[in-house]
């Protein structure tokens, strides 16, 4: 037995060495952790159970048979985060650059299959030079095997992807198919083709950082949902996001214990400025309405006219979708619509109720928006809300104009409840624009057009710049004082907690992509 024990011990030690000390030092010198150090940070102590530690590739191409590393460049298995089961894979850049080929892909697919069969989240820690060039087409096949599983698992179990190193070529598509992407500043990159190929094809000179670094994807493309200064922070973000989500689509998110008494929030009474033209930060409303410190903003530097994120209300996990009057007046444009639509669908897939805070002057006009498809892209948000079966409540804080009124979770498209503050203005458009159109002739013919315009504007505002027409129709369930908002929402979401709503039988809908 002693002999057997020693053999196993030595194999295990070999696997733990990865690509060797020198490469591990190089990894640390770049400010990166090793695959196993990352898992230590991610998982509860002593909870990790490794699978396939002794797997080897079987390629003989280009001398690869002489480069055997136990585990084949990826550490896979299962463990616990805050006591909850998760499946993980962590690519080891010290082994052939974390490159993916047959055996490496098979190990990832195995944990994906287990995650699906057992209904628990899958977390991928990506750090890889992409398809292992020496192994050829089996590397491509391996990627496709993973993509296929990502899609099958979509909406069934939460899938989270941390990008902790290079991520090029096909390697970007698995993270893109998952629910959340987390990038680290300075050490992680995502691009379909790197700077060299870009230069050859388009003659553009661009650095890896500018082409596909964390900042680029956080601000320009929206590919990443979270950006962190270092890997430890990225891993903290993963844990936090998981805490709002259930294990799978059949379960509800965990509800934290909550014992509150005074739910009145007087600060809310003075958030909306006197003038309708003046901006305010919708996050001030979010932080007052939701449990203290519970808001985790998603894609915070992308399409800032729309604020999205997870929060808690009396301990219950909710998704917040809010127009941001402090940025472009909170207008709905292509980026804001797609950002919110994706988040609404993520929440709906995982039974997270939705709170919508509405202050929107309408859709953004212009050739740029029209030519790039604001019609199709705005329709995505309309579609996402209309399709969502989770409890959903809207609070109109100020403007709810035009098509944007319909789109932002109106009662007509299935909101369970719509509240409005007394400052709400619910109309086809703002009073100034409306007066200009309706009274065009009177204004033009008048001796003092400016004064006539102002007068007509005031008439229109008197008639429509308030919530009471909508309330008279029942489109607004209740006009509430801002300080009561939190108390109302806690009761309302409690009332809706057993909501059952089903979609008509179909293969799947046809989201306007
Ligand atoms: C095999 C690879 C590799 C790869 C890196 N290595 N990428 N081995 N296949 N794709 C190896 C290197 O040979 C080296 O081995 C070690 O990993 C570390 O690489 P370095 O270049 O020394 O590290 P660094 O300077 O940090 O650069 C990292 C890198 C670079 C940016 C990732 O290695 C690189 O550009 N690699 C190629 C990327 C690529 O073109 N991949 C294919 C994408 S196409 P030693 O032995 O020295 O440690 C693709 C198609 C999939 O993925 C399509 C699916 C649909």
**Distance (Å, rounded) from C-alpha 39 to C-alpha 79?**
9
Helix (H, G, I), strand (E, B) or coil at 396: strand
Q: Which helix (H) or strand (E) holds 85?
A: strand 84-91
Helix (H, G, I), strand (E, B) or coil at 154: coil
CATH class of 266-429+466-495: alpha beta
Q: What is the position in ligand 1's atom list of the atom closest to the CA of 94?
A: 48
CA 59 to centroid of ligand 1, rounded, Å: 17
Q: What is the position in ligand 1's atom list of the atom closest to the CA of 30?
A: 26
Assess whether the region 2-244 and the region 266-429+466-495 belong to the same CATH fold: yes
Q: What is the pLDDT of residues 391-416, one digit of tens each?
A: 999 999 999 999 999 999 999 999 99
pLDDT value of position 471: 97
Considering only CA atoms, which residue is closest to atom 27 of ligand 1? 129
Q: Is 444 a catalytic residue?
A: no
Q: What is the pLDDT of residues 322-372, one digit of tens each?
A: 999 999 999 999 999 999 999 999 999 999 999 999 999 999 999 999 999
CA 99 to centroid of ligand 1, rounded, Å: 6
**Distance (Å, rounded) from C-alpha 67 to C-alpha 399?**
64
Cα separation values, 353 from 105, 189, 215, 246, 512, Å: 36, 33, 30, 12, 23
Considering only CA atoms, which residue is closest to atom 54 of ligand 1? 170
Cβ atoms of residues 381 and 332 within 8 Å: yes
Using left for φ > 0, alpha for ψ between -120 and 50, and beta otherwise, residue 105 falls in alpha
Using a cut of 0.85, tell me whether the model's pTM lies above it.
Answer: yes
The residue to mutate among 66, 129, 140, 166, having the most atoms of ligand 1 within 8 angstroms of its beta carbon, is: 129
For the chain, the maximum distance between any two Cα atoms, rounded to a whole number of angstroms, is 107
CA 96 to centroid of ligand 1, rounded, Å: 7
CA 94 to centroid of ligand 1, rounded, Å: 11
Token digits of residue 84: 């909850």
**Helix/strand/coil (H/E/C) assignment for every residue in 485-501:** HHHHHHHHHHHCCCCCC
Percent of the chain residues past pLDDT 70, beyond the cut: 100
Considering only CA atoms, which residue is closest to atom 32 of ligand 1? 129
According to DSSP, residue 350 is labeled T
Please say if the pLDDT value at position 469 is more than 90: yes
> Helix and strand tally (H, E) in the chain?
20, 15
Q: What is the position in ligand 1's atom list of the atom closest to the CA of 128?
A: 32
Active-site position among 97, 98, 170, 362: 170
Considering only CA atoms, which residue is closest to atom 28 of ligand 1? 129
Q: What is the pLDDT of residues 149-158, one digit of tens each?
A: 999 999 999 9
Nearest CA-CA partner of 59 in 152, 115, 137: 137
**Distance (Å, rounded) from C-alpha 183 to C-alpha 127?**
11
Q: What are phi and psi of 214, to 5 degrees?
A: -60, -40
CA 172 to centroid of ligand 1, rounded, Å: 14
- Averaged pLDDT, 87-104: 96
Please say if the pLDDT value at position 6 is more than 90: yes
The residue to mutate among 20, 72, 74, 130, having the most atoms of ligand 1 within 8 angstroms of its beta carbon, is: 130
pLDDT value of position 387: 98
Q: Kindly list the domain boundaries of the chain, sorted by start residue.
A: 2-244, 266-429+466-495, 431-464
Cβ atoms of residues 435 and 457 within 8 Å: yes
pLDDT value of position 460: 87
**Distance (Å, rounded) from C-alpha 468 to C-alpha 254?**
38
Output the CA torsion 237→243→244→246 (10° steps).
130
Considering only CA atoms, which residue is closest to atom 41 of ligand 1? 130
For residue 278, give every residue at least 6 positions away whose Cβ sits within 8 Å of its Cβ, in sequence order, or none. Answer: none
Q: What is the position in ligand 1's atom list of the atom closest to the CA of 97?
A: 17
Which residues surround ligand 1 with Cβ inside 6 Å?
23, 96-97, 99, 129-134, 140, 143, 166, 168-171
Q: Is 169 a catalytic residue?
A: yes
Rg of the chain's alpha carbons, rounded to an integer? 26
Q: What is the position in ligand 1's atom list of the atom closest to the CA of 133?
A: 9
CA 131 to centroid of ligand 1, rounded, Å: 8
| The pairing of beta strand 354-360 with beta strand 316-323 | parallel
**Distance (Å, rounded) from C-alpha 340 to C-alpha 378?**
10
Q: What is the pLDDT of residues 204-236, one digit of tens each?
A: 999 999 999 999 999 999 999 999 999 999 999
Q: Is 315 a catalytic residue?
A: no
- Averaged pLDDT, 417-434: 91
Classified by CATH at the fold level, domain 2-244 comes out as 2-enoyl-CoA Hydratase; Chain A, domain 1 (3.90.226)
Task: Identify the residue whose tokens are 């003046």.
Answer: 278
Q: Is 141 a catalytic residue?
A: no
Token digits of residue 422: 């007394």
Active-site position among 103, 404, 424, 492: 404
**Distance (Å, rounded) from C-alpha 279 to C-alpha 274?**
10
**Distance (Å, rounded) from C-alpha 124 to C-alpha 122?**
7
**Distance (Å, rounded) from C-alpha 366 to C-alpha 68?**
58
> Where does residue 371 rank: exposed (0-12), middle (13-18), buried (19+ CB within 10 A)?
exposed
């Amino acid at each position: 037995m002693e002999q057997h024990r020693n053999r196993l011990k030595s194999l295990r030690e070999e696997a733990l060495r990865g690509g060797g000390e020198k490469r591990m030092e190089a990894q640390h010198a770049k400010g990166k952790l090793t695959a196993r150090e990352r898992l230590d940070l991610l998982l509860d102590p002593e909870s990790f159970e490794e699978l396939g530690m002794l797997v080897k590739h079987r390629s003989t191409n280009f001398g690869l048979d002489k480069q055997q590393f136990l585990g084949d460049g990826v550490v896979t298995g299962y463990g616990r985060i805050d006591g909850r089961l998760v499946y993980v894979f962590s690519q080891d850049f010290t082994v052939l650059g974390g490159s993916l080929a047959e055996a490496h892909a098979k190990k990832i697919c195995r944990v994906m299959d287990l995650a699906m069969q057992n209904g628990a989240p899958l977390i991928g820690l990506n750090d890889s030079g992409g398809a292992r060039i020496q192994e050829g087409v089996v590397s491509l096949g391996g990627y496709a095997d993973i993509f296929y599983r990502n899609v099958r698992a979509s909406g069934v179990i939460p899938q989270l992807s941390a990008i902790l190193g290079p991520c090029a070529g096909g390697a970007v598509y698995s993270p893109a198919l998952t629910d959340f992407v987390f990038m680290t500043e300075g050490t992680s990159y995502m691009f379909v083709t790197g700077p060299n190929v870009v230069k050859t094809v388009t003659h553009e000179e661009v650095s890896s950082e500018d082409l596909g670094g964390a900042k680029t994807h956080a601000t320009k493309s929206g590919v990443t949902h979270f950006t962190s200064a270092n890997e430890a922070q990225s891993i903290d973000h993963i844990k936090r996001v998981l805490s709002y989500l259930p294990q799978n689509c059949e379960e509800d998110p965990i509800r934290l214990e909550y014992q509150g008494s005074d739910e009145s929030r007087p600060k809310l009474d003075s958030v909306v400025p006197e003038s309708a033209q003046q901006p305010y930060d919708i996050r001030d409303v979010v932080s007052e309405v939701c449990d203290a410190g519970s808001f985790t903003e998603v894609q915070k530097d992308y399409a800032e006219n729309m604020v999205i994120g997870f929060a808690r209300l009396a301990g219950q996990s909710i998704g917040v979708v809010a127009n941001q009057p402090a940025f472009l007046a909170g207008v709905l444009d292509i980026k804001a619509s797609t950002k919110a639509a994706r988040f609404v669908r993520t929440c709906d897939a995982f039974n997270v109720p939705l709170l919508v805070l509405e202050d929107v002057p309408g859709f953004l006009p212009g050739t740029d928006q029209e030519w790039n498809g604001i019609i199709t892209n705005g329709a995505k948000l309309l579609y996402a809300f209309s399709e969502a079966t989770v409890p959903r409540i809207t609070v109109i804080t100020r403007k709810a104009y035009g098509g944007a009124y319909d789109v932002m979770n109106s009662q007509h498209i299935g909101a369970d409840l719509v509240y409005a503050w007394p400052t709400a203005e619910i109309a086809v458009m703002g009073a100034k624009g409306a007066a200009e159109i309706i009274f065009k002739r009177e204004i033009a013919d008048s001796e003092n057009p400016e004064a006539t315009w102002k007068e007509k504007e005031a008439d229109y505002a008197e008639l429509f710049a308030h919530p009471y027409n909508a309330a008279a129709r029942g489109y607004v369930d209740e006009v509430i004082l801002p300080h009561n908002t939190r108390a109302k929402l806690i009761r309302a979401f409690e009332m809706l907690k057993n909501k059952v709503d089903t979609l008509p039988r179909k293969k799947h809908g046809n989201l306007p992509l």
